[in-house]
Amino acid sequence: MTKDSRAFSGQDLSPGLSKRPKLSPQVFELLRELIHNKSGLRFEPDKRELLEWKLAPRAEALGLGSFLDYYYLLKYDSSEEEWAALMDALCVPETYFWREPDQFEALAQVIAPRFFEARPDQTLSIWSAACCTGEEPLSVAIALKEAGWLDRKPIRIIASDASPAMIRAARRGVYRKRSFRNLPPALRDKHFEPAGEGLWRAKPEIKEKIVYRTANLMDPQSEKLAEVHVIFCRNVFIYFSEKAVQTIAERFYRRMLVPGWLFVGAAESLLKLTTGFLFEQIGSAFVYMKPEPGPAEGPGKDVSREETGSFPEVSPSAGEGRG
């Protein structure tokens, strides 16, 4: 191998200084493009060291001598198992119960009543599209149970994530104190049971309402999961390129049932994209709505706080810093 080819591969050019290969700028470009096309995840040029740190354990576990070798494996020889392991390595496991609670309030106090009033016998279907370790879909189930809908009406909740490790954790349903920092203690005590050593386990009557599966949002095979009335896809688009967000938003809109509601994170917006969604405010929550076919009705309806009702214990700061 010549010195130039070793530099392109990212191999350390100073033997003896380090056995861990380095991610060269050239190979970084190859890997970040490949990862983006497969997952939608965007690694900006200043994130080269972060990607190196995340990928190094995978390259080492496979006995590869360079990141270029790992790139070739992913591109030409990789199985789905290695891509699954890579998704585990790239995931950002930062979530907690009752995150952005106004959205759960909007679902339980406005959307569900609005839906069942018009369709008393239909199933309200909900997809938590990037559920991480499961706090979001459980929050959805808790909100609907507290409002009296979960056991009274047909409701289907699906939760997915691109990381198999995250889905395994979600299925276990066991959480540490940090996950409860925004959930009122009364709701924690009601819907979870102690599991020893500071752990809490979701009670079966909540957890069994949720179906978990592994799904990559950029994989066309996951598109069918969007055939629901409500999608929570929160705090994931911030890691995606605009092109990837456009692709996923179009798939959501094309496959969502009507009426349909899409919740994204507070730091995310689809307003700069071209979609068919209407922008609607429900109380303090903002949601993108897929309206039923009919005459144009202008912008989405602004539903005032007074129309939403409320959970007495649900405020953005409720339970902050508590277990």
Question: Does 96 fall in a domain?
Answer: no
Question: Does 318 fall in a domain?
Answer: no
Residues in contact with 134: Cβ distance below 8 Å, sequence separation at least 6, in sequence order: 159, 166, 169, 170, 171, 173, 202, 210, 212
SS3 244: helix
pLDDT of residue 94: 84
107 and 139, same domain (yes or no): yes
Q: What is the DSSP string of 255-319?
A: H--SSEEEE--TT---TTS--SPEEEEETTEEEEEEPPSSS---SPPEE-HHHH---TT--TTTT
- The DSSP bridge partners found for residue 287 are 280
Our count of domains for the chain comes to 2
Which segments of 73-227 does DSSP mark as H helices, in order? 80-90, 101-106, 112-118, 135-146, 164-172, 185-191, 204-207
Question: Does 95 fall in a domain?
Answer: no
pLDDT of residue 77: 81
46 and 142, same domain (yes or no): no
Q: Of 44, 63, 90, which marks where a domain is finished?
A: 90
Distances (CA, A) of 222 to 130, 153, 225, 275: 12, 26, 6, 19
77 and 48, same domain (yes or no): yes
277 and 133, same domain (yes or no): yes
pLDDT at 280 over 80: yes
> For the range 240-246, what are the long-range contacts, defined as Cβ-Cβ under 8 Å and sequence gap of 24 or more?
240/40, 240/41, 240/42, 241/36, 241/40, 241/42, 242/272, 242/273, 244/36, 244/40, 244/41, 244/42, 244/218, 245/40, 245/270, 245/273, 246/273, 246/274
With beta carbons less than 8 A apart as the criterion, state whether 246 and 205 touch.
Answer: no
With beta carbons less than 8 A apart as the criterion, state whether 30 and 24 touch.
Answer: no
Q: How far apart are CA 36 and CA 82, in angstroms?
A: 16
- 230 token code pair: 């409500």
Domain range for 232 is 101-308
Question: Does 315 fall in a domain?
Answer: no
pLDDT at 304 over 80: no
116 and 19, same domain (yes or no): no
225-253 pLDDT, tens digit per residue, is 999 999 999 999 999 999 999 999 999 99
- Write down the pTM of the prediction: 0.85
With beta carbons less than 8 A apart as the criterion, state whether 140 and 157 touch.
Answer: yes
End-to-end CA distance of the chain: 56
64 and 160, same domain (yes or no): no
38 and 119, same domain (yes or no): no
Q: Dihedral of the CA atoms 46, 51, 53, 56 (nearest 10)?
A: -140
pLDDT at 309 over 70: no
The CATH number of whichever domain residue 182 belongs to comes to 3.40.50.150
Q: Of 58, 90, 122, which marks where a domain is finished?
A: 90
133 and 271, same domain (yes or no): yes
185 and 269, same domain (yes or no): yes
86-128 pLDDT, tens digit per residue, is 999 999 888 999 999 999 999 999 999 999 999 999 999 999 9
Q: Among 271, 278, 270, which residue's Cα sits nearest to residue 300? A: 278
85 and 108, same domain (yes or no): no
254 and 288, same domain (yes or no): yes
Question: Does 314 fall in a domain?
Answer: no
Question: Does 155 fall in a domain?
Answer: yes
Q: What is the DSSP string of 164-199?
A: HHHHHHHHHTEE-GGGGTTS-HHHHHHHEEEEETTE
26-44 pLDDT, tens digit per residue, is 999 999 999 999 999 999 9
Q: How far apart are CA 72 and CA 81, in angstroms?
A: 16
Element (H, E) at 161: strand 155-161
> What does the mean pLDDT of the chain come to?
86
Residues in contact with 277: Cβ distance below 8 Å, sequence separation at least 6, in sequence order: 249, 253, 262, 270, 288, 289, 290
66 and 210, same domain (yes or no): no
The CATH number of whichever domain residue 11 belongs to comes to 1.10.155.10
Q: Of 57, 90, 123, which marks where a domain is finished?
A: 90
Q: What confidence category does residue 3 fall into, taking pLDDT thresholds of 50, 70 and 90?
A: very low
